[in-house]
Structure 1
Amino acid sequence: MNKNLLNYHFWATNKLLDHLGTLPEGLLSKEIPNVFPNILKTLEHLYAVESMWIQRIQGYNFSALPETTFENIPQAREAFSEVHNQYLVASNEEENKLINYQNTKGQTFCNQLWDIFIHIVNHGTYHRGNITSMLRQLGERGISTDFIVYLRESNDKGI
């Protein structure tokens, strides 16, 4: 299985967390009109979804998002690191492995493992974009977490 897409997702999340860690903490909880009320709430949602999906992959039937609260970026970094490690372990499974689960409405579905990974990566890209928008609304600069930037940086570092 090509893990490049998952590694990209982990890289992009960490790159965003690195950038957010340089900003004043109060900025991350400042309310602004966007998909979520602030940057920390967006990170909490992103983590909660990733946490829920890895639990489903591991065979636990979670049909609701776990409640997640981050006080700061180091706390978020630790939580994402733990869940990303679980994804790395799961990525050793057969990519066509079928995962049965219930969605948040209680409906039963079945998807292949790799399709779920693609969903997680896409979901992360969407919400990292939300955070970039929020940063610009707050007068801060965003950072590039495009896949091609990941490839360039990975090649430069020999990853």
Structure 2
Amino acid sequence: MNKNFLNYHFWATNKVLDHLGTLPEGILSKEIPNVFPSILKTLEHLYAVESMWIQRIQGNNLSAFPEITFQNIPQAREAFSEVHSQYLAASNTEDNKLIYYQNTKGQMFCSQLWDIFIHIVNHGTYHRGNITSMLRQLGEKGISTDFIIYLRESHDKGI
């Protein structure tokens, strides 16, 4: 498997967290009309989904999204760092490994590990876009997390 996609996802999430950590206090929990009511709620959703999928990959079925509440960016960073470490460990198995899981409606499914990783990366990209939109609604600057920027920065750092 090309771990570039997972590494990109981790890089992009950390870029967003870095940027959010520079914003004025209170802006992350300010309610605005968007997909989720606040930036923090968007981060909590992103983490809950990643946490749920890694549990499924590890053979643990969850009947509902894990409950998580972030009080601040350092807490979010720690949680994402832990789950991302679990994804890296899981990525050392065969790409076409089959993962059997139950969705939150109780339906059974089976997906290849690589397809789940692609889903996680795509889901993260979507919600990082939501966060950029929310930042602009709040009069703040967004942050670019495009894949090509990751590749350029990785190349410049010799990664």
TM tier, smaller: over 0.9
Alignment of 1:1-150 (within 5 A): 1-150=1-150
Equivalent pair of 1:25/1:72 in contact (CA under 8 Å)? no
CA distance in 2, matches of 1:133, 1:116: 26
CA distance in 1, matches of 2:6, 2:129: 17
1:42, distance to aligned residue in structure 2 (A): 0.2
CA distance in 1, matches of 2:102, 2:23: 38
Q: Which residue of 1 aligns with 2:153?
A: 153
* AA aligned opposite 1:30: K
**What stretches of structure 1 move > 3 A for 4+ residues in a row?**
none
1:131, distance to aligned residue in structure 2 (A): 0.2
TM-score (ref. length: structure 2): 0.99
1:24, distance to aligned residue in structure 2 (A): 1.6
Ranges in structure 1 where 5+ consecutive residues have no aligned partner = none
Equivalent pair of 1:57/1:99 in contact (CA under 8 Å)? yes
Identity of aligned residues (%): 88
Secondary structure in structure 2 of the residue aligned to 1:96? coil
CA distance in 1, matches of 2:114, 2:51: 16
* AA aligned opposite 2:40: L
Q: In angstroms, what is the RMSD of aligned CA positions?
A: 0.4
- How many corresponding residue pairs? 159
TM-score (ref. length: structure 1): 0.99
